[in-house]
Amino acid sequence: MITIPAKAVFFMLKLLDELKIKLWTKDGRIVFRQGDIWWCSLGFNIGEEIFGKGAKFTRPVLIFKKFTANSFMGLPLTTQGRNGSWYVEINTGGVKRWVLLNQARILDKKRLTIKISSISKADFERVKRKFIEFYGS
């Protein structure tokens, strides 16, 4: 069992609360589309949940399904090569990335920070097909 000092836990929670306040009060003029890849503040999660890096806990995320002007289903990305039914390899601007189908999340656009790129229609259709196969089984 891992023991974390109470001071460290308090400090981390304080940082996360400050980040959430900054995100909540962020200007809402972000426009995003399905197939876009954005840096997204995912926060610090537990267990096998993927989380972001750096002060804003950001990670590249594929906008998989836009629900409203403010919310979407995001699929986190990694540059570490992966094999398995819940990974889909894509190429964006000459960079190989893997879509993590098993980490799908509903997110608010206020978590988006910087647009990285968009994926091709062919790659998006492949991700969609693999998503349906993965969650339909």
Q: What is the CATH number of the domain that holds 113?
A: 2.30.30.110
Closest CA to 99 of 137, 61, 51: 61
**By CB neighbour count within 10 A (0-12 exposed, 13-18 middle, 19+ buried), where does 2 fall?**
exposed
pTM equals 0.75
Q: Residue 28's Cα: distance from chain center in Å?
A: 18
Query: By residue range, what is the domain housing residue 66?
Result: 6-136
Alpha-carbon distance 64 to 72, whole Å? 7
Count the domains in the chain.
1
Residue 1, domain member (yes or no): no
Q: How confident is the prediction along the chain (137 residues), in pLDDT tens digits per residue? A: 566 666 655 555 555 555 455 545 556 678 999 999 999 987 655 544 455 554 556 889 999 999 999 999 999 999 988 788 889 999 988 889 999 999 999 999 998 999 999 999 999 999 999 999 999 96
Angle at 71 between CA 49 and CA 19, to 5 degrees: 60
pLDDT for 15: 55
Residue 63, domain member (yes or no): yes
Residue 83, domain member (yes or no): yes
Residue 27, domain member (yes or no): yes
Residue 73, domain member (yes or no): yes
Residue 115, domain member (yes or no): yes
